[in-house]
Amino acid sequence: MKIAIASDHAGIEMKEAFVNLLSEFGHECLDFGSKNFESVDYPDFAEKVSKEVSEGNYDRGILICGTGIGMAITANKFPNIRAALCNDMYSAKMSRCHNDANILTIGGRIVGKDLAKEILKVWLNTEFEGGRHSRRLLKIKSIEEKKFQK
């Protein structure tokens, strides 16, 4: 898959580990920053990745900040984005099976290295189940469309 990834200063180490893992797993990945530990604002980085996924230029996105919360709040402002905060494996699996999440957000200050790798693997490799869950996603889409028609 084509994957866009970014973090703020609190997620740099996890982002670098993920960039290496993604290429090891055979995905094409582009790093949208941040590139150093200088304090930055997470919405700026959430915007870069969310825009790319929203416009269909990338299949999926990954956003890392201290908790993953700010990245999720920001990413879900963009049309076509279903960003899921997954700091555990069950959420990562269900965000794909039931919600067809196209952006993973994760907390660089919360999740340890080994767990983060497992969360990434399950999130990349779990398919959307469709069926009744598709109906629910259509309802989300219709709420989104009402919002953008205002």
Query: Look-up: residue for tokens 């700010």?
Result: 70
Stretch in the footprint of ligand RB5 (CB under 6 A) among 48-56, 64-72, 128-136, 137-145: 64-72
Shortest Cβ distance from residue 110 to ligand RB5 (Å)?
9
Nearest by Cα to 6 from 54, 109, 41, 150 = 41
Nearest by Cα to 25 from 123, 101, 108, 100 = 123
User: For ligand RB5, which is the closer residue by CB, 70 or 100?
Assistant: 70
Contact call for residue 76 and ligand RB5 (CB under 6 A): no
Contact call for residue 45 and ligand RB5 (CB under 6 A): no
Query: Look-up: residue for tokens 């200088």?
Result: 38
Count of residues in contact with ligand RB5, rule CB under 6 A: 8
**DSSP label at 25?**
T
Contact call for residue 85 and ligand RB5 (CB under 6 A): no
Catalytic residues: 65, 98
